[in-house]
C-alpha cells in the first residue's frame, strides 16, 4: 500500500460522510447525580407516554439521516 492509498477514504467512510447530520439519544440511569436523594432502580424507568416517533420527526425536521440510541446503567 502506498502513501497515496492511505490518504484515500474507504467506501464506508464516504457513505458515513454522506449521512451529514445525525442524532444521538443517550438514556442514563445516573446513580451518582443525586447523592442526597434515594435512587430509583432501573426497573422504575417505564415511561407510559414516551413518543419516540416524535423524536424521529424532530430528527427528520433538521435533516438527520442517522439516529443512535445508547443506554447506561
Cβ pair 21, 63 in contact under 8 A:
yes
* Dihedral Cα 66, 48, 73, 19, nearest 10 deg: 0
Enter the DSSP assignment of 31.
S
Q: 3-7, 36-40, 46-50: which has the minimum mean pLDDT?
A: 36-40
pTM (2 decimals)? 0.57
Position of cell 451529514? 20
Give me the pLDDT at residue 34, please.
62
pLDDT digits (tens, 9 = 90+) for 9-45: 889 999 988 888 999 998 776 555 666 777 667 677 7
Q: Say what the pLDDT of residue 45 is.
A: 72
| Across 42-60, average pLDDT | 85
Q: Pick 36 or 60 by higher pLDDT.
A: 60
Give exposure, 6-30, as e/b (b: 16+ Cβ within 10 Å).
eeeeeeeeeeeeeeeeebeeeeeee
Amino acid at each position: 500500500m502506498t502513501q497515496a492509498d492511505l490518504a484515500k477514504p474507504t467506501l464506508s467512510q464516504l457513505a458515513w460522510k454522506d449521512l451529514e447530520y445525525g442524532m444521538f439519544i443517550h438514556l442514563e440511569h445516573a446513580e451518582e447525580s443525586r447523592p442526597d436523594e434515594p435512587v430509583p432502580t432501573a426497573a422504575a424507568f417505564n415511561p407510559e407516554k414516551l413518543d419516540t416517533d416524535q423524536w424521529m420527526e424532530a430528527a427528520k425536521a433538521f435533516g438527520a439521516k442517522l439516529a443512535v440510541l445508547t443506554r447506561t446503567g
